[in-house]
């Protein structure tokens, strides 16, 4: 038996199939989530304090030059001298008062312990400008030199 085709390309005598009715199911969609706000890493992290100003260090040096143990350079006149370089770190309180003295390096050639003891006694008498947001510590290089 020959089967012809209708105008839709289906077999003319073939049973027609009905497509199942599509049921319309509406699924409510959630509103689009707001993306997390962008966080600027520099703004999120607290700003690092600025270094303590060099001009404030110089003002304190000039104001307290008599309290830097320089008198210890000469022992027995020019016969014996205590010379060298000492690096100290001073911790400052909010008002600028020295609250801690740390000897970082002591390069004094004769009696370095005598110089260190003197510095730990006299440097707390120094006063600096209040740190006001700057790093509350100062490093000083103190040079002990003779003029003999």
Q: At 68, which CATH number?
A: 3.30.2420
Domain range enclosing 74: 54-144
Q: Which residue has the higher pLDDT, 80 or 16?
A: 80
* pLDDT number for residue 140: 95
H/E/C letters for each residue in the chain?
A: CCCCECCCCCECCCCCCCCCCCCCCCCCCCCCCCCCCCCCHHHHCCCCCECCCHHHHHHHHHHCHHHCCHHHHEECCCCEECCEEEEEEEEECCCCEEEEEEEEEECCCCCHHHHHHHHHHHHHHCECCCCCCECCEEEEEEEECCCC
Mean per-residue pLDDT, 103-112? 96
pTM: 0.65
**Is 60 exceeded by the pLDDT of residue 28?**
no
* pLDDT number for residue 97: 95
- Exposed/middle/buried for residue 17 (C-beta within 10 Å: 0-12, 13-18, 19+): exposed
Domain count, the chain: 1
pLDDT above 70 covers a percentage of the chain that reads: 69
Asked if residue 113 is part of any domain, the answer here is yes
Asked if residue 39 is part of any domain, the answer here is no
Asked if residue 38 is part of any domain, the answer here is no
pLDDT above 90 covers a percentage of the chain that reads: 54
Asked if residue 32 is part of any domain, the answer here is no
Encode pLDDT of 59-105 as tens digits.
Answer: 999 999 889 999 999 888 888 899 999 999 999 999 999 999 999 99
Asked if residue 122 is part of any domain, the answer here is yes
Asked if residue 79 is part of any domain, the answer here is yes
* pLDDT number for residue 104: 97
Asked if residue 24 is part of any domain, the answer here is no
Asked if residue 13 is part of any domain, the answer here is no
């Amino acid at each position: 038996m020959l089967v012809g085709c209708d105008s839709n390309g289906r077999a003319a005598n073939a049973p027609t199939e009905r497509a199942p009715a599509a049921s319309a199911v509406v699924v409510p969609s959630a509103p689009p989530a707001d993306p997390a706000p962008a966080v600027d890493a520099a703004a999120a992290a607290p700003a690092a304090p600025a270094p303590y100003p060099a001009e404030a260090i110089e003002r304190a040096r000039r104001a307290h030059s008599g309290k830097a143990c320089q008198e210890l350079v000469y022992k027995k006149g020019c016969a014996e001298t205590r010379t060298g370089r000492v690096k100290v770190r001073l911790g400052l309180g909010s008002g600028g008062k020295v609250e801690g003295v740390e000897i970082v390096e002591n390069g004094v050639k004769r009696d370095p312990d005598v110089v260190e003891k003197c510095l730990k006694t006299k440097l707390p008498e120094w006063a600096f400008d209040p740190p006001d947001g700057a790093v509350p510590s100062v490093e000083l290089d103190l040079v002990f030199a003779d003029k003999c």
